[in-house]
Structure 1
Amino acid sequence: MSGPPGRLHGHKARQAPCTSVYNRDFRPFQTVPMSQKIDYLNPALPAGLRRVSMPVVDATPATLDGFGRLVANPSECPIEIVQWPSMGSRPIDPGTGDEAGTTEGTFVSEWRGDILYGRNEAVGGHYVLAYATEPEAARDDSAHTPERMLLWHANYHPDGGQLFFPLDHRPFYVPLALPGDDIAPEKFVCFRFDGKQGLYIHPNIWHEGVFTLEGTQRFFDKQGAVHARVSVDFTREFGCLLEAPIVHDALLSGQSGDHL
């Protein structure tokens, strides 16, 4: 998962009320409204949301095909960087438009009571990733052990891929969906990892960070430094939350595609 809009390497960019779009027919610039900024720590979700169950499958080379791949050594995992798109008939000069490189840091996934928080030091992001109960009833000081995770938001990065590698070698989940802005809750799959390997996802893959099953878990994160983000809010667009059960002693079955 990425950090708040307008941040790059810890510097805050000026916020503009609109952005310019230039069409391919070379007509004058037009302005279109910016999407509303999301408050990731206080999303103020509506009550009474339905739930859409995600299939939970073991992460293997076969099941991750198209999404990304398993990573055994983070130092040997190059990050794909997408070249800035050409806006007209002339191409981008070779060797330009992809020079921003990558940024890296620690991604912390932490359950506090009924709420799963994420903190991405690579991009200065801090957010609510999921809930263990209805959002309106969720409490930081709850003593209950989470038995499910309820996901409210997802995003993708059109500018580059992203690597998550566990520094604490315990099982974790990562919900993913294949590229496309015609996204729907039913297109998501929750991948289950044993904590021995990390995950690399390609550009444009829908995701929402990494989800520890209990307590606090740290991951090495590396991603494109441009850090563009496209979002979906399941609660407001589809009136739902995405659900996956949590199995605390989750062990990989060794068979691709096994469902919980």
Structure 2
Amino acid sequence: MNTELTDYLNPMIPAGIEHKKIKTVIAGSASLAGYGQLVGEDYDSFPIEIVRWPAQGWRKVDEDCGDEGGTTEGTFYSSWQGDVLMGSNAAVGGNYVLGYNCAPESADENTDRVPEKALLWHANYHPDGGQLFYPLDHKPFVVPLALPGDDVQPTDFVNFWFDGSQGLYIHPNIWHEGVFTTEGSQRFFDRQGAVHARVSINFPEEFQCLLQADLVKPTV
């Protein structure tokens, strides 16, 4: 088992790796069922699910404890630097390479190319609580998601396209990887479980691929 910490700013991605395109759908109440839900301008009062600490045997965790970690919040920044999509989450002090507009070995951080896709190398879920993202700049963004399960496959992911008028709440255990602005930079209000347990998948290591999430609005 690989016990080394992941370097989220310098992912090791082999050259020539396969790009697996995932389906893009418009985010709506029906399409998000099971994953989460849309969030409106009342995002600041939207409740975040916190999962009780799991029992280690047949004895239950007492009902008045085990879910008292609360939430943490801050601004999530999603920003294209040339061909590289960067993320920064002030709520948990994280900085990440979220994806690429082209093969990573050809990525140019100084280009003015308009991104058309995000090639995703990593995803994770939080077993301790849900997570909310609300677009403060009200611009389009996409979020690749997959339903719970540690045996998840690349083909299980769905790319949700948002027009920027509403945000997203995802349930605990939903596979995700932040929020991807479709161009330029964008700020999101982020609130999530403060424990911040993270279960990860590295697509190049496990599946020898990158996930391709298109940034353009899908045609209906």
Q: TM-score range by the shorter chain?
A: over 0.9
Q: Per the alignment, in what secondary structure is the counterpart of residue 52 of structure 1? A: strand
Distance 1:225 1:196, change over 3 A: same
Tell me, yes or no, if structure 1 residue 67 matches structure 2 residue 69. no
8 Å contact kept, 2:79–2:87: yes
Tell me, yes or no, if structure 1 residue 133 matches structure 2 residue 102. yes
Residue 193 of structure 1 and its aligned partner are, at CA, apart by 0.4
- For residues 195 and 48 of structure 1, the distance between their equivalents in structure 2, rounded to whole angstroms, comes to 34
- In the other structure, the counterpart of 1:239 is 208
Q: What letter matches 1:56 in structure 2?
A: T
- In the other structure, the counterpart of 1:10 is none
Query: Structure 2 length as normaliser, TM-score?
Result: 0.96
- For residues 87 and 245 of structure 1, the distance between their equivalents in structure 2, rounded to whole angstroms, comes to 42
Residue 45 of structure 1 and its aligned partner are, at CA, apart by 1.0
- In the other structure, the counterpart of 1:41 is 9
Equivalent of 1:81 in 47, 50, 68: 50
Q: What letter matches 1:233 in structure 2?
A: N
- For residues 35 and 201 of structure 1, the distance between their equivalents in structure 2, rounded to whole angstroms, comes to 28
Residue 116 of structure 1 and its aligned partner are, at CA, apart by 0.1
Equivalent of 2:178 in 203, 209, 233: 209
Q: Per the alignment, in what secondary structure is the counterpart of residue 104 of structure 1? A: strand
Q: What letter matches 2:88 in structure 1?
A: R
Q: Per the alignment, in what secondary structure is the counterpart of residue 75 of structure 1? A: helix
* Aligned residues between the structures: 219
Q: Pairwise mapping of residues 169-188 of structure 1 onto structure 2 (< 5 A)?
A: 169-188=138-157
Q: CA RMSD in A?
A: 1.3
- For residues 213 and 172 of structure 1, the distance between their equivalents in structure 2, rounded to whole angstroms, comes to 5
- For residues 132 and 107 of structure 2, the distance between their equivalents in structure 1, rounded to whole angstroms, comes to 30
8 Å contact kept, 2:161–2:215: no
Q: What letter matches 2:11 in structure 1?
A: P
Equivalent of 1:104 in 58, 61, 73: 73
- For residues 114 and 57 of structure 1, the distance between their equivalents in structure 2, rounded to whole angstroms, comes to 23
Equivalent of 1:93 in 58, 62, 68: 62
Structure 1's unaligned 5+ residue stretches are: 1-32
Of the structure 1 ranges 143-152 and 173-182, higher mean CA displacement relative to structure 2 is found in 143-152
Equivalent of 1:159 in 128, 131, 136: 128
Q: Per the alignment, in what secondary structure is the counterpart of residue 186 of structure 1? A: helix
Give the % identical residues: 61
Which runs of structure 1 show a deviation greater than 4 angstroms over 4 or more consecutive aligned residues? none
Residue 245 of structure 1 and its aligned partner are, at CA, apart by 2.4
Q: Which has the larger radius of gyration?
A: 1
- In the other structure, the counterpart of 2:159 is 190
8 Å contact kept, 2:141–2:215: no
- For residues 14 and 141 of structure 2, the distance between their equivalents in structure 1, rounded to whole angstroms, comes to 28
Q: Per the alignment, in what secondary structure is the counterpart of residue 95 of structure 1? A: coil
Which digits, 9 at most, give the CA deviation of each residue in 1:123-179, with x for residues without a partner? 000000010010111121122111211111000000000000000001100000000
Structure 2's unaligned 5+ residue stretches are: none
- For residues 196 and 112 of structure 1, the distance between their equivalents in structure 2, rounded to whole angstroms, comes to 24
Residue 34 of structure 1 and its aligned partner are, at CA, apart by 7.0
- In the other structure, the counterpart of 1:122 is 91
Query: Structure 1 length as normaliser, TM-score?
Result: 0.82
